[in-house]
Amino acid sequence: MNIVWLGLIVLAVLTAAIRGTMPEVSSAAFLSAKSAVELAIGLIGAMALFLGLMRVAQDAGLVQALARALRPLFRWLFPKVPADHPALGAIALNIGANMLGLGDAATPMGLKAMQELQELNPDKETATDAMCTFLALNSSSVQLVPAMVIGLRVAAGSHNPSEIIIAAILATTCSTVVAVLAAKAFSRLPLFRQDDPQGGQAA
Amino acid sequence: MKDFLNAAAHWVVPLLLLGIPLYAYAFRKIRVYESFIEGAKEGFWIGVKIIPYLVGILVAIGMFRASGAMDLLVGLLRPLTSLVGFPPEALPVALLRPLSGSGTLGLISDVFKTFGPDGFIGRLVSVMEGSTETTFYVLAIYFGSVAIRKTRHALPASLLGDLTGVVAAYIVCRLLF
């Protein structure tokens, strides 16, 4: 993350110096900072709503039932997370919300899952294998109906806005499978190994 | 099909908001209102906790986009992608996707305006949007919310997933359309 973050800024300032876009870059820095806070504050509403709902589902035993149903898959994905741990329930809800394209619901559940996974983490500054697998799963998009882009296609006057659904499901299945397998395989590389004190720094 | 999907999307959240508390109250005797409030309390702190991480990543991405460095990157990659027949018009969408969700939707609208949503390029960018994610945003807030600093292999694995999403979108579009 350090290299990526610094890299983006270095590239931005260098390009701006050559192309004379420094005024734009300067105002973009302030605008982005402002919109980041607005975004986070805006998330609080959805976060409170869905975490509240999730607590009700948890108290009623629904989340645990969902996690139990997915146990075989979760045992392979997250071998170090105990089978009855609340993290798995939150993960199941996050994936479910993502599949349905409910981004507003998926983020609160995902953040809740990270908190639960962090409880199992012996080194609070370094990501665990389970966290990395979960992130890879999350950032490879598992949604079944890309509602946003279908909306754009409708607005652009497409003759068949939903014709891309099957293709998108095929493509996103590929990306999810590769991301998860990569997360599993990379976790064994010396560069990323958890017990290596220098290991995590590279990313 | 389209109408059904649109209608179904509007039903999901209200049905969840009705069904879960109703089940909990009727069958499990849960004090649903108190339970909801307990859970909702956590939402505020998570939202506040991710602010610094979100500012960090969005400022870097905002500067990068405003500088025009994206055009340079597209120019560099174009000879490579045209070797396999990947349309250069779709390249900015593929590159921006992991950085910015709203920016990508803007680019896709532009592509639709220029090439139409029903041509090969229009379909390709549509499928790409559905098969990839705003990886940097997801990583920043997910790890930020629990103050993880060493992210190990999460970023490389996620970016490989995004790359696969783009390649798979191209192959699937070639086969299907």
B10 and B86 in a single domain? The answer is: no
CA distance A153 to A159: 9
Helix (H) or strand (E) holding A131: helix A129-138
Chain A residue numbers with beta carbons less than 8 Å from the beta carbon of B1 are: 162
DSSP secondary structure of B125-162: HHHHHHH---HHHHHHHHHHTTT--B-TTHHHHHHHHH
Check pLDDT > 70 for residue A6.
yes
C-alpha A187/C-alpha A189 separation (Å) is 6
Closest residue in B to A134 (Cα–Cα): B154
Model confidence pLDDT, tens digit, residues A136-149 = 999 887 888 788 88
For residue A61, which amino acid is it?
G
A171–B130 C-beta distance less than 8 A: yes
Minimal CA–CA distance to A143: which of A116, A104, A111, A182?
A104
**Residues in B touching A97 (Cβ below 8 Å):** none
Residues B37 and B69 in one domain: no
On average, the pLDDT of chain A sits at 89
Q: Calculate how close chain A gets to B53, using CA atoms only, in Å.
A: 9
Q: Given this model, what pLDDT does residue A156 score?
A: 92
Best residue in A141, A177, A188 for a mutation probing chain B (most B CBs within 10 Å): A141
Residue A189: exposed, middle, or buried by beta-carbon count in 10 A (0-12, 13-18, 19+)? middle
Amino acid sitting at position B163: L
Q: Tell me how far apart the alpha carbons of residues A139 and B9 are, in angstroms, rounded to a whole number.
A: 22
Nearest CB neighbour to A33, from listed B2, B47, B59: B59
pLDDT at B3: 66
- The complex's ipTM works out to 0.88
Least CB–CB distance from A152: residue in B13, B68, B109 = B109
Has residue A201 got a pLDDT over 60?
A: no
pLDDT at A81 > cutoff 80:
yes
Apex B125 CA angle, A203 and A4, nearest 5: 15
Using an 8 Å CB-CB cutoff, list chain B residues near A145. 5, 9
Do B69 and A15 count as a contact with CB atoms less than 8 A apart? yes
Instruction: Please answer yes or no on whether A136 and B20 come within 8 Å at the CB atom.
Output: no
In terms of domains, do B13 and B79 share one?
Answer: no
Place of tokens 């068949």: A160
Write the DSSP symbol of residue B105.
H
Q: Indicate if B118 and B154 belong to the same structural domain.
A: yes
Closest-CA distance, B101 to chain A, in angstroms, reads 10
Q: A135, B142 in Cβ contact below 8 A?
A: yes
Q: Locate B117 and state its tokens.
A: 């949503």
Tell me the shortest Cα–Cα distance from B1 to chain A, in angstroms.
8
Do residues B25 and B91 both lie within one domain? no
Tell me how far apart the alpha carbons of residues B109 and A161 are, in angstroms, rounded to a whole number: 13
- B166 lies in the same domain as B129: yes
pLDDT at B45: 87
Check CB contact under 8 Å for A29 and B62.
yes
Q: What total of structural domains would you count in chain B?
A: 2
Q: Write the residue in A37, A152, A154 that is nearest to B55 by C-beta.
A: A37
Contact: A158, B154; criterion CB under 8 Å:
no
Beta carbons within 8 Å of A71's beta carbon, 6+ residues apart: A83, A88
* Residue bearing the bigger pLDDT, B13 or A14: A14
- Mean pLDDT confidence for A88-104: 88
Closest chain B residue to A3 measured between Cα atoms?
A: B155
Are residue B62 and residue B18 in the same domain, yes or no?
Answer: no
- Domain of residue B78 covers 51-176
8 Å CB contact of B5 and A203: no
User: Helix, strand, coil % (nearest 5) of chain A?
Assistant: 75, 0, 25
**Beta carbons within 8 Å of B129's beta carbon, 6+ residues apart:** A146, A148, A149, A168, B93, B97, B104, B105, B108
B51 contacts in chain A (CB < 8 Å)? 36-37, 40
Question: B20 with B84, same domain?
Answer: no
Pairwise CB contact (< 8 Å): B47 & A61: no
Within 13 A of B30's CA, how many CA atoms are on the CB side? 24
Secondary structure of A173-202 in HEC code, one letter for each residue: HHHHHHHHHHHHHHCCCHHHCCCCCCHHHH
Question: Could you tell me if B89 and B71 lie in one domain?
Answer: yes
B82 and B132 share one domain: yes
Nearest CA to A116 among A94, A136, A96, A99? A94
Q: What is the pLDDT of residue A102?
A: 80
Tell me what pLDDT residue B2 has.
Answer: 57
B92 and B170 belong to one structural domain:
yes
Tens of pLDDT along chain B (177 residues)? 556 666 666 787 889 899 999 999 999 999 999 999 999 998 888 888 889 998 999 999 999 999 999 888 899 999 988 888 999 999 999 999 999 888 899 999 999 999 999 999 999 999 999 899 999 999 999 999 999 989 999 999 999 999 999 999 999 999 998
Q: Chain B residues with CB inside 8 Å of A156's CB?
A: 109, 112-113, 116-117, 122
User: Do B125 and B165 share a domain, yes or no?
Assistant: yes
What pLDDT is stored for residue A142 in this prediction? 83
Residue A88, pLDDT score? 94
